[in-house]
A and B are shown apart, each in its own frame.
Chain A
Amino acid sequence: MTDRTPTSDSAPADIASAVAITGPARHPGPEEIIPPGVVPELPEKEPDAFLAPLLEPFEGARLEDSHGQEVLRLDRSRLLEFARAAKDAGFESCADVTAVDWYRHRRVRFDLVVNLLSRRHRRRLRVAVAIPGDDPRVDSIVSVWPGASYGEREVYDMFGIVFDGSPDPSRILMPDDWVGHPLRKDFGVGSVPVQFKDSHKVT
């Protein structure tokens, strides 16, 4: 079962008309979701001879095509299993671990994106795992690719996604006692308003 926002035909296509329907402009509460259409919807793709045996045991997985690159949507409970299978299939290294915060654009808040590289077969595969905002936990893939350790620490530091079984769950970029996760959309940029010398108001 994949966590995907169900597309609804009756939902309006753009945000402006959505607001017009619901009434005068007001600040949307955290439980309201801006209607779909903003999060990129990727077309599905058939796995080729190399990926088909790898993807067979994962029934709910959906392979998508993103500008010529392959993106696999996977359920978070099967991430570790898939990681082991992928490593056996030929993806020797995990190039990158990162995350995207969809905040109110989608019901499931985070996407963990694992970028796999197979040197032998000259292919890349991006695995996107949806992670809910109220329970941001996922298995750590460090046991499969030790090099993912830094990437996972950065994702924890910046997004607050906790990796179960990670050998080193500490913060990596921010100071150790920093409160908050900077790359979340509800963490402001933190810009200091510019004050001009002779003006009496702060712009």
Chain B
Amino acid sequence: MAPVPGLITTSVNKAASWARTRSMFPATFGLACCAIEMMATGTANYDLARFGMEVFRASPRQADLMIVAGRVSQKMAPVLRQVYDQMPDPKWVISMGACASSGGMFNNYALVQGVDQVVPVDIYVPGCPPGPQGLMHGILNLHDKIMSGEIAS
């Protein structure tokens, strides 16, 4: 059989991506109203557990997904960055809601206008707050992007 280039490495990549998406542990970074919708996504009606994600790790060292749910104030921004830095690679960030994505309706001195000024963001989920279906759509999009190799880490 002629050797097929990239057979072993592509398969390992695919297998690794599959493993990463099927058991992504979110870190608890619920800040404001979006946190409540994030909790609602994790509970019985919308059930994140079917994606393997109901375990919200309190310690960032054990998490690989940070869902920034809520408005990030000037005082909170360094904490956000430190929690992000503590997460081991590979890690992803979902910016949930209007306030995390762009400052939302609060275009003022107190908020960081968009959490992507502090951490690199992979998926933006719009809404104020985005319903659980919106958040799940964002999470599944992230899974697709990882599976397709578009986002390496």
Contacts and interface: CB of A to CB of B under 8 A. Distances in A.
B109 A190 contact: yes
A28 B103 CA distance: 33
A192 B110 contact: no
Interface size class of A (residues with CB under 8 A): 10 to 19
Contacts of B103: 192
Interface string A159-179: 000000000000000110010
Chain B interface extent, by class: under 10
B27 to A, nearest CB: 23
B75 A191 contact: no
B108 A191 contact: yes
Nearest to B77: A175
A2 to B, nearest CB: 34
Q: Chain A interface mostly helix, strand, loop or mixed? A: loop
A190 B75 contact: no
Contacts of B110: 174, 182, 190
A189 interface: yes
B109 A175 contact: no
18 contacts: A174-B74, A174-B75, A175-B74, A175-B75, A178-B74, A182-B109, A187-B109, A188-B109, A189-B107, A189-B108, A190-B108, A190-B109, A190-B110, A191-B107, A191-B108, A192-B103, A192-B107, A192-B113
Interface of B: 74-75, 103, 107-110, 113
Interface of A: 174-175, 178, 182, 187-192, 194
